[in-house]
Structure 1
């Protein structure tokens, strides 16, 4: 058991909720929360590079999501959570992002 505990550690929870606002092909605007592990790791890496300055880390996350992603085709992998599945008008969350170059 100790070997497993050393190999697998619980990742620290990100203290922010990230989301995307976007418009689909029909012109409908949506806002969806991102539950993708990659956005969390982006935040932790930005925080580390910013010497634990949260404002700088958040600015770097926004820079990547606003600037860099605009140079790519962006596709969302969507999923639902049991909590909102039958009660929310839009139970979907972003569980993954695929961004190949244009």
Structure 2
């Protein structure tokens, strides 16, 4: 769970997750383009690749290779494990 919190501790990684949650199955090129055009983030492909690697090691992103392309998908399971640990309860204040 520590790796999930560390992965979420960066604004760029949260933006990447937001974009993958909105539309799954993007290549590194597509992610780079979206971050530049929609969010004004001028990061190198290497920097974005490192962010994706950290998200993948935290289990928040899974990948699939098809030919020479690698597609990235959002995986919400680690986030649901957090909500199971600390469930939201209604308060009657």
TM-score (norm 2): 0.34
Larger helix fraction of residues: 2
- Structure ranking higher in strand proportion: 1
Larger Rg: 1
> RCO (CA 8 Å, sep 6+): is it higher in 1 or 2?
2
With the length of structure 1 as denominator, give the TM-score of the two structures.
Answer: 0.32
